[in-house]
Structure 1
């Protein structure tokens, strides 16, 4: 029995076998070719073969910065597996210290390594000259390597930023995304055009540069329209956005416009043939910060202006007046002066009167526009009690959606999920039903039929379950189920006589509403409602009509 296998007492065979298993972590940002994923794997495989290790798992981060752990799913998964005890390996093989991370705080890099060590998993740097064995020399070398990796990123960031500022000062485009009505043209070192760059495309050669070009003539007309509506007609951001969306004019991403896009267009100097760089900056993965005006880099973009420089200057003056910071007492005093002159106040008067802050500024400083009115002794004729109940009715919409989801799961076996601020249900990625609140409007007399108004938001598909409130707008009076083919619009207007026109179903109780929804699903073979048909609306006066039908869907 000399060749018999002898197992000593206290020997754990599973543990012995596990010590031969290792995981590899590889990461590549946009740096050097020697740091490619394939080269790292080859070096790690050679180390594993030399030391008798079997690589059983790979954690990978491609195109990820090593400045922080956020945005690195591979490293996050690795740490989670180690901490949860699910790791079936005892070693983590990494090419070098910089691949583990270029954390600007070296203690952060050490912290993630310590988490692995505390759970019985050792981190090994295969290409480093030191052995990560916990000795004094190993610790000193590792600390210096971490500091060098962090400093390399910092120095590179400074050099790249200086180079971008120099290129932007020459009138070239620096960065990827551009504004509405502009295109990017890649040119060689002799200014010869090469190819237009689409969204997501970048130049390949360092000697190439990017110039801006005009888009279509329709886009240029839209830009001029925006400036005209803002400068001459004194329209607000919301009014301009609404006009563009109603005219089926899509933004540069093919989606509907938002209020925040309007001031972006109005302040874009590309439309007068100039470039501006370094308005904002994000250094080494930190938060985005706004830079002061003296740090901006201006350059001539070598393109013909789309907007007249005089109109652009007037737009900048109006924008600056909206952003001016004045004391709250001064804000209220100016509001009193306008009230004496006009005799009333509302959002449109405040936004279009020179010298007054925007409505959003009053809301920011005083909590609400109604609060600012009360401080100057003005009572708005508008019924503002409805604003106080928004949170309550939002919770009611969510409660109804959850109740319907439970019924659909129990009775029909449909798995639905909340969507659209928890007021709608989706089944398989398709909108099933949305819950809306319709408040009852004040009628002119007892002989007038009651009317309800519901804000539809941007919902354009699925059934609409409208909860109609009573005359006090405090409780739910009944429910109305409307089909998905209802004409698109920002508001839904309902009355007793309009139900037949809208092909709506009146439901006195919520149980009747749920039965009606289930009947619609049964009639459509348990399929979710289809997307509503967009009506062909004509472009509003003052804005050009879009060439394509892209817009609000």
Structure 2
């Protein structure tokens, strides 16, 4: 027929209908008005009308920097839809190259565009003077535009950093929220106060400034108490935090104190009237780095002092002595001195000795405290055999866990999930944990054998304890006990006399233990089924009249 519609061979109607569909990507940080979302959308709509495109999707990143893709949910979603094949469009319309991103590595910007092209989605920059058609001219201009966008961010970062350093040198606040005993005041360009800034509040006008002021007299007294206890009385950060919590003194957030909060206050120069800036920096979204003290920007007499400078300096000297760097030979020499003075060595003695590195430092340098002891010719009285064979018994627990999985997996109606972080299983929602308990030494021969196991990290459910023999070299027997609630002190004593009180069962062989676990699971399933049947509601029958009809 002459008027019939003829479809050429190989024509994909779905693809041709999608060819006129487009998505728009809008991004705005906190820059100029010409980059507002409304202006971008208007320019993109005009371009779409010229190219006979229909905008069917919007991907928006509002208030997001273009330095990296992290945090840009709109662009992440766009790339995800394109890669997964869920995109129902063949064009992505962007205002210009800088809205796609100001990536510091221009290859990253090209990578995301290549991902779209590989899936048949074309990127169009609506406000640029070139067509993104892959020609030599467009490729050169587009790459130059990407470099210019990245360089703009670098120059802007330098200017902003210099401006913040200048504000800090004039005594204004240019950083994070203040600590305890301080508050922020907003002032205008004539230094007139505009009120107090609360938590999470920031200035809205570029001409406004933020100053730091001393808090109430009560807060100032708490700050002076912290410095006095640390610098004069010799208390540690943790001890000061405990004293404040016992006195029910809240921090700036109204929550209990920690030793890190106390340590932050002891280092803060705001309490002697100085504003300090540029201690850390992460320009252009890079990793946060600590700057050397010669790059810090200080402004003296910017805040009313709360603490005496001499006491503050003494606190800094005490903290500096904590982190003094000495050689390993000097570490061992000081350890010998403490040994000669105390006659023995323990973790508590090492940590409390003045001028001696903490026990963790000896572990980091020598591998363990016992190796450090051996280098100075000292043998600790503590039995460390259990520590040496810890890895061995961890492997034994893993073997028993694997055997339990193999034995129970073939049973019908049992669903097993393994805990990859420890020797534990979850069987039909019931936790089954494995622990090793070594036999404690008996003070007298007539005492009964007893074992002690630490249950704090174990979830509630069933606990399998492998009790070791007298030499703690082999498994003596197995104990299965229910844990319905956390134990006081987190320790369980598992002598033979205590098993009945704990409702525990003892088994000589592991297969007997598995049979008992099966019975527990069957009883649990039966009880669950009975509960479901008893909880079923029975519809009450209506009383009937004499003639058999239901009473209305």
Corresponding residue of 1:546: none
Indicate conservation of the 8 Å contact 2:231/2:314, yes or no.
no
Which of the pair has more CA radius of gyration? Answer: 2
Indicate conservation of the 8 Å contact 1:227/1:266, yes or no.
no
Distance in 2 of aligned mates of 1:483 and 1:30: 56
Corresponding position: 1:40 with 2:44: no
Corresponding residue of 1:71: 71
Distance in 1 of aligned mates of 2:518 and 2:256: 32
Distance in 1 of aligned mates of 2:10 and 2:246: 78
Corresponding residue of 1:96: 96
Corresponding residue of 1:378: 378
Q: Determine helix, strand or coil for the equivalent of 2:490.
A: strand
Counterparts of 1:69-148 in structure 2, within 5 Å, are: 69-148=69-148
Corresponding residue of 1:232: 233
| Larger RCO of the pair (alpha carbons < 8 Å, separation 6+) | 1
Corresponding residue of 1:150: 150
Corresponding residue of 1:214: 215
Q: CA deviation at 1:483?
A: 4.6
Q: Determine helix, strand or coil for the equivalent of 2:159.
A: helix
Q: CA deviation at 1:107?
A: 2.1
Q: CA deviation at 1:159?
A: 1.7
Distance in 2 of aligned mates of 1:417 and 1:215: 55
Distance in 1 of aligned mates of 2:454 and 2:527: 27
Q: Determine helix, strand or coil for the equivalent of 2:298.
A: strand
Indicate conservation of the 8 Å contact 2:226/2:240, yes or no.
no
Corresponding residue of 2:185: 186
Indicate conservation of the 8 Å contact 1:443/1:449, yes or no.
yes
Indicate conservation of the 8 Å contact 1:281/1:288, yes or no.
yes
Question: What CA deviation, in whole Å up to 9, does each residue of 1:134-183 have, x standing for no partner?
Answer: 2222222212211121111111211221222222233333223444x245
Q: CA deviation at 1:26?
A: 2.3
Distance in 1 of aligned mates of 2:418 and 2:255: 24
Q: Determine helix, strand or coil for the equivalent of 1:284.
A: helix
Distance in 2 of aligned mates of 1:220 and 1:396: 57
Indicate conservation of the 8 Å contact 2:439/2:450, yes or no.
yes
Corresponding position: 1:495 with 2:496: no
Counterparts of 1:160-309 in structure 2, within 5 Å, are: 160-179=160-179, 181-189=180-188, 190-192=191-193, 194-198=195-199, 200-206=200-206, 207-214=208-215, 217=218, 221=222, 224-225=225-226, 228=229, 232-233=233-234, 235=236, 261=261, 263-299=263-299, 300-305=301-306, 307-309=307-309
Extract unaligned runs of 5+ from structure 2: 508-512, 531-552
Distance in 2 of aligned mates of 1:4 and 1:137: 44
Indicate conservation of the 8 Å contact 2:439/2:472, yes or no.
yes
Q: CA deviation at 1:250?
A: 7.1
Q: CA deviation at 1:204?
A: 2.1
Counterparts of 1:314-463 in structure 2, within 5 Å, are: 314-388=314-388, 444-446=443-445, 447=447, 450=450, 452=452, 454=454, 456=456
What is the root-mean-square deviation in Å for CA atoms of aligned residues? 4.8
Change (3 A) 1:525 1:113: same
Indicate conservation of the 8 Å contact 2:245/2:257, yes or no.
yes
Change (3 A) 1:222 1:23: same
The count of residues paired between Structure 1 and Structure 2 equals 513
Distance in 1 of aligned mates of 2:517 and 2:134: 68
Change (3 A) 1:462 1:172: farther
Distance in 2 of aligned mates of 1:463 and 1:246: 36
Distance in 2 of aligned mates of 1:151 and 1:226: 47
Q: CA deviation at 1:188?
A: 1.6
Q: CA deviation at 1:372?
A: 2.2
Bigger mean CA offset, 40-49 vs 447-456: 447-456
Corresponding residue of 1:540: none
Distance in 2 of aligned mates of 1:423 and 1:29: 49
Bigger mean CA offset, 156-165 vs 474-483: 474-483
Corresponding residue of 1:58: 58
Change (3 A) 1:274 1:132: same
Distance in 2 of aligned mates of 1:289 and 1:435: 44
Q: CA deviation at 1:194?
A: 1.0
Distance in 2 of aligned mates of 1:252 and 1:449: 54
Distance in 2 of aligned mates of 1:479 and 1:230: 54
Q: Determine helix, strand or coil for the equivalent of 1:324.
A: coil
Indicate conservation of the 8 Å contact 1:280/1:290, yes or no.
yes
Q: Determine helix, strand or coil for the equivalent of 1:65.
A: coil
Q: Determine helix, strand or coil for the equivalent of 2:338.
A: helix
Bigger mean CA offset, 437-446 vs 287-296: 437-446
Change (3 A) 1:397 1:82: farther
Change (3 A) 1:266 1:484: farther
Indicate conservation of the 8 Å contact 1:397/1:422, yes or no.
no
Distance in 1 of aligned mates of 2:326 and 2:450: 45
Bigger mean CA offset, 116-125 vs 461-470: 461-470
Question: What CA deviation, in whole Å up to 9, does each residue of 1:479-507 have, x standing for no partner?
Answer: 655455766xxx5243369x99xx96546
Indicate conservation of the 8 Å contact 1:464/1:484, yes or no.
no
Q: TM-score, normalised by structure 1?
A: 0.74
Distance in 2 of aligned mates of 1:515 and 1:231: 66
Indicate conservation of the 8 Å contact 1:482/1:505, yes or no.
no
Distance in 2 of aligned mates of 1:398 and 1:255: 42
Corresponding residue of 2:544: none
Question: What CA deviation, in whole Å up to 9, does each residue of 1:388-409 have, x standing for no partner?
Answer: 46667778899999989x999x
Change (3 A) 1:62 1:467: farther
Change (3 A) 1:281 1:400: farther
Corresponding residue of 2:543: none
